[in-house]
Chains A and B, each alone.
Chain A
Amino acid sequence: MTDHIDLEQSLHMYQQMAKIRAFEEQVNELYKGAKMPGLAHLYTGEEAVAVGVCEALQRDDYITSTHRGHGHCLAKGARVDRMFAELLGKEAGYCRGKGGSMHIADPDSGNLGANAIVGGSAGIATGAAMSAKMRGSGQVAVCFFGDGAMNQGLLYEVMNMAQLWKLPVIYVCENNLYNEYTHNNETTAGELSARARAFGMCAEIVDGQDVHAVYVAMQRLVERARRGQGPAFLQCDTYRYYGHHVGDINRAYYRSKEEELEWRTNRDPLKILGNWLIGNSLTDQSVLERIEADVNAEVESGVAFALDAPYPDVSEVDEDVYA
């Protein structure tokens, strides 16, 4: 942990992580209660990555997200209630119910959209960075993707161009070890970050459970991108507590309960930050509990809003095919 991050910022990051945690627990309940249609890919356990990365961004910086994207959207500034509404296919959702869990987009907070094609948004993020450079806007773009996307060719094509053209894009690899249901030691040759270095790209590896570490590294990479020094690759080692999606219950054939317990117990991003804050006498347990109570209340009222919200009118089915 670094110590040059002020208390207010740390508490904000704690609050953001707690909000994502509470949001995802509620998604799990909605899904199990058959109130949520479709698929749900929970981000629980990976909160420090989204929050550490987005804390280093400004509101008009861009992100692109993944099928496991709820955390990215929230960290970038999306509202809980409209996110739930989208997950339930309601009119009040960010995409008026047409995107769902895997396609939430919110241009107002710089979110160019979650993408259900693994690695599919690498081009979009790189193009957003190119556009920012052409317009001289000073914005940066962040491309979130998992370790599974490291075997998609698109990623390497755009990393090559980003490095050639010094585009302000940061490729954030959330290495949660599993490509859906398969450990990445069965799918991925060599070191993840070495692939970025092969392009001459600045590449760093951080503990993705330590939000301060993610934030500090990201701040550095964002600053150099804004200075015109080009793209970077940030590997964040993390872990998803649940399965690939909520229906992935029996996981013993690909990972052990002991491994899951170890991460939950000793590598939890909320506990790590909370312990640091308390251990350094910067705050006490009651402050953290109040933050958690506040986000729980926000999440509960967000769910209630979404459950009560109307579905889109059927006349909207063929709206927005064309702009």
Chain B
Amino acid sequence: MPDRELTFAEAIREALAEEMRRDPRVFILGEDVAEAGTPFKVLSGLFEEFGKDRVIDTPISEPGFSGIGVGAAMTGMRPVVDIMFGDFLGLVMDQVANQAAKVHYMSGGKLRVPMVFRTTMGATRRSAAQHSQSLHAWVSHIPGLKVAIPSTPYDAKGLMKTAIRDENPVVFFEDKMMYKLKGIVPTDEYTIPFGVADIKRAGDDITLVATSSMVQVALGAAEMLKEIGIRAEVIDPRTTLPLDKHTLVESAKKTSRAIVIDEGYEQYGVTAEIASVIADGAFYYLDAPVKRMGALDVPVPFSPVLEDLTVPTEQSVFEMAKMLCGK
């Protein structure tokens, strides 16, 4: 199949455009999604192709338009609701957690909510504490939701198409820092199933489980580790809900050591869940405790010298892996 390079943002846009062409029920709802194409320009061009009835600018009313998305999804449409910054999930949590996530179960399976909440995550953009958080653990806590957290343009496109076709509410996190990341994306149609982790790099000395932008960090660390003779395996779960426990456990069994790297806060975070899954499933194979590396448990500071301290880096992952491997 012919391949070409797309940026992460282009891959998302292409997925949305293809799904909107395929299914007239799909529409986009959110702040500055139409002519502006969002502040990150991820949606540029969709308004021109699909018009104001399918790419709909809303007032700055996140709970309101999120709820409207839920109601539209329940009655035959397939909305993609754009929450500009993941931090704004704080505003819409009732609609996400109490409404969207519970409708199917509470109705005994009679109603369903096929919709996507697209939102962002990621620090190191000098955006300070209310525009930098990675809150995917919040929503991964709630039964009834699905949570996608892609790390490459290829995954972003395939997972977005799956998210739109899913019969359930999906929260889709895009790291702001990755929008310009380039990668191979086939021109042929493909989707990526949820709950299937991807081995981004094979190795047998240590498992680095990494999510979203931390996959690039882990791959960089793996390159550094290779220099000192440590072969790291990098696993990307791609969706935190459902979580591919099998692949995580099998990798840890093979390598006997694991570090979980994620950009959400470390306390009570995604790293805790994954570390627990590995500890539970691979306990007798492990040569060391599973280590966790998340964001520093502080509101993300503005000052560049402080902000850069809050997220795991290639160097910090390298150091942790080296220590864990006894080198």
Q: What separation, in Å, do the CA atoms of A129 and B167 have in the docked complex?
A: 20
Q: Within 8 Å of chain A (Cβ to Cβ): is B247?
A: no
Interface assignment of A296: CB less than 8 Å from any CB of chain B: no
Is A126 on the interface with B (CB-CB < 8 A)? yes
Tell me whether B199 is interfacial, beta carbon within 8 Å: no
CA distance A158 to B95 in the complex (A): 13
Q: Quick check: B106 and A95 within 8 Å, CB to CB?
A: yes
Are A123 and B95 neighbours in the complex by a CB distance under 8 Å? yes
B71 touches A (CB below 8 Å): yes
B164 nearest CB across to chain A (Å): 14
Q: How far is the CA of A96 from the CA of B143 in the complex (A)?
A: 18
- The reply to whether B73 and A160 contact each other, CB–CB distance below 8 Å, is no
The stretch that binds B, out of A14-22, A209-217, A314-322, is A314-322
B71 touches A124 (CB 8 A): yes
* A-contact 0/1 string along B63-93, CB 8 Å cutoff: 1111111111111110100000000000000
Contacting residues, chain B, for A320 (C-beta < 8 A): 104-105, 108-109
Q: What interface size band does chain A fall in?
A: 35 or more
Q: How far is the CA of A113 from the CA of B105 in the complex (A)?
A: 12
Q: Is A105 an interface residue (CB 8 A)?
A: yes
Q: Are A105 and B71 in contact (CB under 8 A)?
A: no
| Contact status B144-A322, CB under 8 Å | yes
Tell yes or no: B111 within 8 A of A by CB: yes
Nearest B residue (CB) for A319: B109
Chain A residues with CB under 8 Å of B109's CB are 96, 319-320, 323
Docked-complex contact A160 and B108, CB < 8 angstroms: no
Given contacts A135-B76, A321-B143, contact A130 B108 (CB under 8 A): no
Residue A132 lies at the interface, judged by CB distance under 8 Å to chain B: yes
Instruction: Say whether A107 faces chain B, with CB atoms less than 8 Å apart.
Output: yes
Chain B contacts for A321, CB-based, 8 A: 104-105, 143-144
Q: Is the CB of B72 within 8 A of A131?
A: yes
Q: A138 to chain B: which residues have CB within 8 Å?
A: none
Interchain CB contact under 8 A, A105 and B64: no
- Which chain B residues border A115 with CB–CB below 8 Å? 99
Does chain B have a CB within 8 A of A161?
yes
CB distance from A320 to the nearest CB of B (A): 4
The answer on a CB contact under 8 Å between B111 and A107 is: yes
| Contact status of A105 and B143, CB under 8 A, knowing A123-B95, A160-B64 | no
B202 → chain A closest CB, angstroms: 31
Q: Please report the C-alpha to C-alpha distance between residue A130 and residue B75 in the assembled complex, in whole angstroms.
A: 9
Asked if B72 and A128 make an inter-chain contact with CB atoms under 8 angstroms apart, the answer reads: yes
Tell me whether A117 and B98 are in contact (CB under 8 A): yes
**In the complex, what distance in Å separates the CA atom of A98 from the CA atom of B106?**
5
Q: A123-B63, A123-B95 are in contact. Are A158 and B68 (CB under 8 A)?
A: yes
**Which residues from A are CB-within-8-Å of B58?**
161
Extra contacts, 14 of them, besides A107-B107, A123-B67, A125-B71 (Cβ < 8 A), are A99-B106, A99-B108, A103-B106, A105-B108, A105-B110, A117-B98, A123-B63, A123-B65, A131-B72, A131-B74, A154-B94, A157-B64, A161-B58, A323-B109
Closest 9 CB pairs of A and B: A123-B67, A127-B71, A157-B64, A96-B108, A95-B108, A157-B61, A124-B71, A323-B167, A320-B109
Interface residues of A (CB under 8 A from B): 62, 64, 93-99, 103, 105-107, 112-113, 115, 117, 120-132, 134-135, 141, 153-154, 157-158, 160-161, 164, 319-323
8 contacts between A and B (CB under 8 A): A98-B105, A98-B108, A103-B107, A105-B111, A141-B71, A320-B104, A322-B104, A322-B144
